[in-house]
Amino acid sequence: MNLPVNVKNELAPTGKLRSGMNLGNTLFTRKDKSGQLYGVSVDLMQELATRLGVPLEMVIYDQPGQVADDSAKDIWDVAILAIEKTRAKTVSFSPAMTEIEAGYVVHKGSNIQLCQQVDTKGIKIAAPEKAGYELFLTSELKNASLVRTKNFAASIEIFNQKQVEVLAGLKPNLIESMHKMPEGELLEGNFMTVNHGFAIPIGRNAGDTFLQNFVKELIASGFIAKSIEKHQIKGFTAVKN
């Protein structure tokens, strides 16, 4: 892949690829016992840095909303975020790379049996503030109300305390966390499919074009699918050609 001069200037203006890394989504990014980051996002950023011919510098955040909020502060150059219309006001997204279902947990014995029944007057839904699916629910809910939390763990806590009737989350995380919700029941189906892509601050047109082609190449080569398989992430799939 030929690399126009202005691509490196836009994607690595400091001479390094400063990647915004979100620890709030463990499907993409995890930390080992030594504190080193690993996961699909690390594989993707390392590959991007290699293509650009620059070292990788990881800028670590606890939650995705923090990454998105810093998009205009010249702290990071490229991040992986859920593709969402509110965020598209400040960042440009690559084509979707992955697909993850988002679903609901309700209390056992709840009258709610289907995802479509959740948007009902009087129903309160816990969701982490500025998560991709929380932003989606903010724009789509007509009757139910959102209770925004600091993170997914806080959503579980208020769900267990029965401060809300429903907990929203990425289905792989919900499945993995069901043992923490002994009175919870996972609803079948989903209320949306979350797609993630590379994000860069808006206005970097050369970098945007490069990432469009880069992602298409990653999908065609099976790079993303192989990374997901390597890290044994369940319920998380690569977009296919």
For 160-201, write each residue's pLDDT tens digit. Answer: 999 999 999 999 999 999 999 999 999 999 999 999 999 999
Asked if residues 71 and 199 have their Cβ atoms less than 8 Å apart, the reply is yes
Helix (H, G, I), strand (E, B) or coil at 100: strand
Q: Which ranges constitute the DSSP H helices of the chain?
A: 5-11, 40-52, 64-69, 132-140, 152-160, 171-177, 205-221, 223-230
For 19-29, write each residue's pLDDT tens digit. Answer: 999 998 888 99
**What is the average pLDDT value for the chain, to the nearest integer?**
94
Q: Kindly state the tokens that stand for 41.
A: 């996002």
Domains and CATH numbers, the chain: 5-98+195-238 (3.40.190.10), 100-192 (3.40.190.10)
Residues 6+ apart with CB under 8 A from 23: 29, 30, 31, 37, 60, 61, 62, 63
Its pTM stands at 0.85
Can you give the pLDDT at residue 235? Answer: 78
Can you give the pLDDT at residue 187? Answer: 97
Q: Kindly state the tokens that stand for 113.
A: 């049996």
With tokens 């993850």, the residue in question is 100
Reply yes or no on whether the pLDDT at 241 is more than 80: no
Q: Would you say the C-alpha torsion 35, 41, 47, 51 has a positive or negative sign?
A: negative
